[in-house]
Amino acid sequence: MNSSAVSPGRAGLLLLLTGQMLPLIDTSITNVALDSITHSLDASATQLELIVALYGVSFAVCLAMGSKLGDNYGRRRLFMWGVALFGLASLLCGMANSIGGLLAARTLQGAGAALIVPQILTTLHVTLKGSAHARAISLYGGIGGIAFIVGQMGGGWLVSADIAGLGWRNAFFINVPICLLVLAFSPRYVPETRREAHSAIDWQGTFSLALILCCLLFPMALGPELHWPWTLQLLLVAVLPLLVWMRASALRKQQRGEQPLLPPRLLKLTSIRFGMAIALLFFSAWSGFMFCMALTMQAGLGMAPWQSGNSFIALGVAYFLSALYAPKLIARFSMGRILLIGLVVQIAGLLLLIATFGHFGAHTSSLAMVPSTALIGYGQALIVNSFYRIGMRDISASDAGAGSAILSTLQQATLGLGPAILGSLFLTLAQRGGGTYPQALIDFLAVEVAMMLLLGAMALRLRHHLNIRPVATAS
């Protein structure tokens, strides 16, 4: 049971959606600023991977904990704690004088994002009903495209404008006044809600997940540069026993009637397992794509940050329009078919982008990429829309919270690991190709096409379970 609460109203909804945009905008802003950070802090390509990856991994590890803390201590309170932590971490990012300081601040920033995000959707579900709820959820779903555009354009402009000689630091400092405004008005306009029953936090599961992700992240990011020393190999080997330990602990908690971080009984469900496949193949490819494209645009093609940011406007606009149009598709087709449509459009966009770079090479312009990036953005939104709906297909109403937490954690974990794993692959391809980013990107995009084809093959194999046919014929 949740405590009763009043509607947040327009002002409260605006504050919640602003809070949601902060972590989303920051991801795209950071990608635009990578090349400037390289020159300012003398960062290596591997360290750039970690700037993106540590944020995502910290986000994933703390996400379920943030949700439970909101249930127990009040969602508005945790929302404000998260905004305050995010603002402080943004300030520390902008003030960082070393790459180590920036990496530490980015980790803290991910933890702040993990406190913010779970409170928003739960507050909307608890406080809004009927058409107001439907409108709010539509805005919540479409905000990703808006945040992407704002982050790319605004971040590129902030870095290029070099206001007060601060360069890339402004991309982080801009968060601070926004956080202060949200903190100032949230007590008045955002209603407080909490669960009446206490939600137990699986601290051991959270710690195990953190160890597993770190044992994957650091070897994959640092291994190629350090030529795979035995210490990094040992960390990779440690992943298997850590997984066994985490599963054994989860089984014991489940048998005692407790709620582990990743309940084994839910991990057996076909829909959850396929959701895991979508996370591993799509979300890691998505974050890896954005990281490698940002490097290619600036370090490979010599674009200024504002030019690099503008190169993805078509992707963001197409994503937003696709997210808005998705409900009409959902009314006509099953989620499995929508997933396949998204994959086909995404693959077409990737192949067109390969052809674009193959034709123009180092002279590829932002305008030349518009058709391909628009297709990629449109397909991405359909896949993301399918992710939770397909993943939650076999989940009972009583397990909805746990199932959603599993999928959210997997999504953020793979978004964090994508730049480390696929970024390392991209940099290896660039080194073997004599340091030519455009050719390395072509080879990298071919790998991404293969990943999408594999996901499509899995969807076709499960077509009966996913009900890949028009809904009208099924009823």
- CATH T-level fold of 7-192: Growth Hormone; Chain: A; (1.20.1250)
89-98 per-position pLDDT tens digit = 999 999 999 9
Q: What is the mean pLDDT of the chain?
A: 86
pLDDT of residue 474: 38
What pLDDT band is residue 268 in, cutting at 50, 70 and 90? confident
Highest mean pLDDT among 8-12, 266-270, 299-303, 354-358: 354-358
The residue-averaged pLDDT of 296-321 equals 87
As given in the structure block, the two tokens for residue 102 are: 């920036």
| Confidence category of residue 4, pLDDT binned at 50, 70, 90 | low
Residue-level pLDDT at 473 = 37
pLDDT band at 471 (very low <50, low <70, confident <90, very high): very low
Rg (CA), the chain: 21
Q: How far apart are alpha carbons 380 and 63 in whole angstroms? A: 23
- Assess contact for 449 and 319: CB atoms under 8 A: no
Q: Is 263-475 in the same CATH topology as 7-192?
A: yes
Per-residue pLDDT of 395-419, as tens digits, reads 776 676 677 778 888 888 888 888 8
pLDDT digits (tens, 9 = 90+) for 156-176: 888 888 888 888 999 999 999
Q: How far apart are CA 209 and CA 59, in angstroms?
A: 12
**Cβ atoms within 10 Å of 241's Cβ, excluding its own:** 9
Task: Determine the pLDDT at residue 462.
Answer: 82
- Look at residues 378, 353, 377 and name the one whose alpha carbon lies nearest to residue 441: 353
Cα 88-90-91 angle, rounded to 5 deg:
65
Q: What is the dihedral of CA 446, 452, 453, 456, to 10 degrees?
A: -170
| pLDDT at residue 45 is higher than 90 | no
Using DSSP's 3-state secondary structure scheme, residue 2 falls into strand
Asked if 267 and 394 touch (Cβ cutoff 8 Å), the reply is: no
- Tell which CATH classification among 1.20.1250.20, 3.65.10.10, 3.40.1190.20, 3.40.50.300 matches the domain 263-475: 1.20.1250.20
CA–CA dist 230, 294 (Å, integer): 32
Measured between its terminal Cα atoms, the distance across the chain in Å is 33
Phi, psi of 394 (to 5 degrees): -95, 5
Position 115 confidence tier, pLDDT thresholds 50, 70, 90: very high
Would you say residue 466 has pLDDT above 60? yes
3-state secondary structure of 202: coil
pLDDT band for position 258 (50/70/90)? confident
Residue range 441-456, pLDDT digits in tens: 999 999 999 999 999 9
Provide the 3-class DSSP secondary structure of residue 470. strand
Q: What is the model's pTM?
A: 0.85
Asked whether residue 216 carries a pLDDT value surpassing 50, the answer given is yes
* pLDDT confidence of residue 470: 44
Residue 151: pLDDT over 90: no
Chain centroid to CA 382: 15
**Beta-carbon neighbour count of residue 367 at 10 Å?**
10
Q: Are 273 and 466 in contact (CB under 8 A)?
A: no
Q: Where are the alpha helices (DSSP H) in 190-334?
A: 203-226, 230-237, 239-255, 264-267, 270-278, 284-295, 305-310, 313-332
pLDDT mean over 118-138: 79
Sign of CA dihedral 105, 106, 107, 112: positive
Q: What is the pLDDT of residues 234-244, one digit of tens each?
A: 999 999 999 99
**CA 432 – CA 420 distance, rounded (Å):** 18
Coil/strand/helix, residue 330: helix
Q: Which of 391, 393, 401 is nearest to 1 (CA)?
A: 401
Instruction: Indicate the pLDDT class of residue 133, thresholds 50, 70 and 90.
Output: confident
pLDDT tops 90 at residue 113: yes
Where do the domains of the chain lie? 7-192, 203-260, 263-475
Per-residue tokens: 33: 């600023």
pLDDT at 5: 60
| Nearest in space to 338 (alpha carbons), one of 467, 145, 473, 453 | 467
pLDDT surpassing 90 at residue 178: yes
The proportion of the chain whose per-residue pLDDT surpasses 70, expressed as a percent, equals 93
Per the CB < 8 A criterion, the answer to whether 350 and 377 are in contact is no
DSSP-derived 3-state class of residue 462: coil
**Chain position carrying tokens 């985490």:** 246
Mean pLDDT, rounded, for 141-153: 75
Which positions ≥6 away from 248 have C-beta within 8 Å? none
> Over 60: is that where the pLDDT of 363 sits?
yes
Q: Band of the pLDDT at 124, cuts 50, 70, 90?
A: confident
What integer pLDDT is reported at residue 196 of this predicted model? 77
* pLDDT of the residue at 85: 97
pLDDT of residue 172: 93
Residues 462 and 354: their CA atoms lie apart, in Å, by: 29
- Cα 349 to its chain centre, rounded Å, is 20
